[in-house]
């Protein structure tokens, strides 16, 4: 049995049905997910500050910029939304993704975006792109492309959860639907898709960001999904390696 298969078995043994059970299962991972997901795009985020906000709802002696502090606090709000959404078994739809984006980006839009009319919780109104290939749907096409993507994921079966998650994340980042926060939203929504399909959520570790970006670029340039799928499988093993070791 591979370590990936062990991670799946470990998760499925838990038979998680409620938000309380999910919170318990993620008790040692929620802070790590918020830290790594935030730091991928903001080098000023620290594990210490993230832990302080998650555990004590504040930090002492903070000297960094306020946007970073808001981003960490928003990550905690987004985690609570994640749990409540699982409790209610909400589908992964446009309404939920917009709510996730608002939770993660409220009070963090820079003045330039704000002056251009961009707002947290709304699809982008201007042409923002990402990656080496500078991909991103035109603003007028975002809603239709997001609706099409989510429609394709309506009948996911647990056996194909990782492939579906890779496809969702690659396509979501390729659409680049928001003026800000796309990476964090994509990773959070991807994990929600995974837990809905009885698959362990994944921490994409910031130290592995180069491989992560290369895997996304493989989709952008060649529509090749296997690189991202293999990367997510390896990150699943890395996320749960301590628990896997206890099984041996």
Predicted local confidence at residue 30, as pLDDT? 95
Distance CA(141)–CA(154), nearest Å, equals: 21
Distance CA(188)–CA(95), nearest Å, equals: 14
Residue 121, SS3 per DSSP? coil
Distance CA(108)–CA(80), nearest Å, equals: 19
Predicted local confidence at residue 248, as pLDDT? 63
CA 166 to chain centroid, in Å, comes to: 11
With contact defined as beta carbons under 8 Å apart, do 123 and 139 qualify?
A: yes
With contact defined as beta carbons under 8 Å apart, do 81 and 100 qualify?
A: yes
Predicted local confidence at residue 62, as pLDDT? 81
Higher pLDDT, 62 or 241: 241
Distance CA(72)–CA(67), nearest Å, equals: 9
Residue among 165, 236, 160 at smallest CA distance from 204: 236
Predicted local confidence at residue 232, as pLDDT? 98
What is the extent of the structural domain holding 175? 3-247
Q: Strand locations in the chain, DSSP E? A: none
Distance CA(125)–CA(116), nearest Å, equals: 8
pLDDT in tens, 153-171: 999 999 999 999 999 999 9
Predicted local confidence at residue 131, as pLDDT? 76
Within 10 A of 175 (CB to CB), how many other CB atoms are there? 23
HSE of 247, CA atoms in CB hemisphere, 13 A: 17
- The model's confidence at residue 134, banded by pLDDT at 50, 70 and 90, is confident
Predicted local confidence at residue 225, as pLDDT? 98
Region 104-133 average pLDDT: 93
Residue among 37, 45, 72, 31 at smallest CA distance from 206: 37
Task: Report the number of distinct structural domains present in the chain.
Answer: 1
How much is the mean pLDDT over the chain?
A: 95
pLDDT in tens, 24-79: 999 889 999 999 999 999 999 999 999 999 999 888 888 888 999 999 999 999 99
CATH number assigned to the domain comprising residue 59:
1.10.3290.10
Q: Is the pTM of this model over 0.85?
A: yes
């Amino acid at each position: 049995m591979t370590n990936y298969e062990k991670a799946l078995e470990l998760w499925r043994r838990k038979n998680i049905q409620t938000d309380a059970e999910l919170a318990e299962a993620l008790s040692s991972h929620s802070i790590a997910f918020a830290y790594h997901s935030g730091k991928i795009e903001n080098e000023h985020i620290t594990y210490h500050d993230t832990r302080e906000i998650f555990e004590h709802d504040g930090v002492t002696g903070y000297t960094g910029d306020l946007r970073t502090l808001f981003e960490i606090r928003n990550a905690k709000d987004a985690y609570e939304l994640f749990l409540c959404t699982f409790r209610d078994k909400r589908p992964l739809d446009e309404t939920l993704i917009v709510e996730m984006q608002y939770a993660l980006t409220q009070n963090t839009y820079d003045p330039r975006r704000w002056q251009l009319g961009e707002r947290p919780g709304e699809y982008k109104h201007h042409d923002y792109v990402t990656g080496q290939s500078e991909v991103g749907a035109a603003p007028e096409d975002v809603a239709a492309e997001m609706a099409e993507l989510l429609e394709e994921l309506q009948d996911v079966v647990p056996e194909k959860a990782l492939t579906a998650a890779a496809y969702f994340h690659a396509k979501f980042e390729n659409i680049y639907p928001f003026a800000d926060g796309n990476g964090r939203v994509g990773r959070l929504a991807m994990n929600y898709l995974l837990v809905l399909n009885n698959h362990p959520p994944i921490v994409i570790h910031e130290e592995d960001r180069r491989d992560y970006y290369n895997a996304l670029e493989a989709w952008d340039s060649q529509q090749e999904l296997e690189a991202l799928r293999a990367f997510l499988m390896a990150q699943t093993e890395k996320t749960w390696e301590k628990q896997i070791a206890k099984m041996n």
